[in-house]
Structure 1
Amino acid sequence: MTGLAPVNLAVFASGTGSNLQRLLDLSRLDELGGGKVVLVVSDKPGCRALERAEAAGVATFAFYPKAYPDKPAYEREILDRLREHRIDWIVLAGYMRLVGEVLLQAYGGRIINLHPSLLPNFPGKDAIGQALAAGVSRTGVTVHFVDEGMDTGPAIAQEAVPVDPGDDADSLAVKIHAVEHRLLPEVVRALCRGEVWLENGLVHWRPQASGGRGICGAGVLGRQDQERSRGECAGH
Structure 2
Amino acid sequence: MAGADPRRVPRAAHGWAVPLCLLSLASLVALGLAVAVGSVGVTPETLWAVLRGEGDALSRTLVLELRLPRALSAFAVGGLLAMAGALMQVLLRNPLADPYVLGLSGGAAVGALVAMLAGVGGTLVTGSAFAGALASTLVVFGLAHGTGSWTPSRLLLTGVVVAAGWGAVITLLLSVSPVERLPGMLYWLMGDLAHAGAPGAPLALLLVASLVALPLGRSLNVLARGPLQAAALGVA
Shared fold per TM-score greater than 0.5: no
Structure of larger gyration radius: 2
Q: Flag the structure with higher helix content.
A: 2
TM-score bracket, shorter-length normalisation: under 0.3
Question: Which fold has the larger relative contact order, with Cα–Cα distance below 8 Å and residues 6 or more apart in sequence?
Answer: 2
Q: Flag the structure with higher strand content.
A: 1
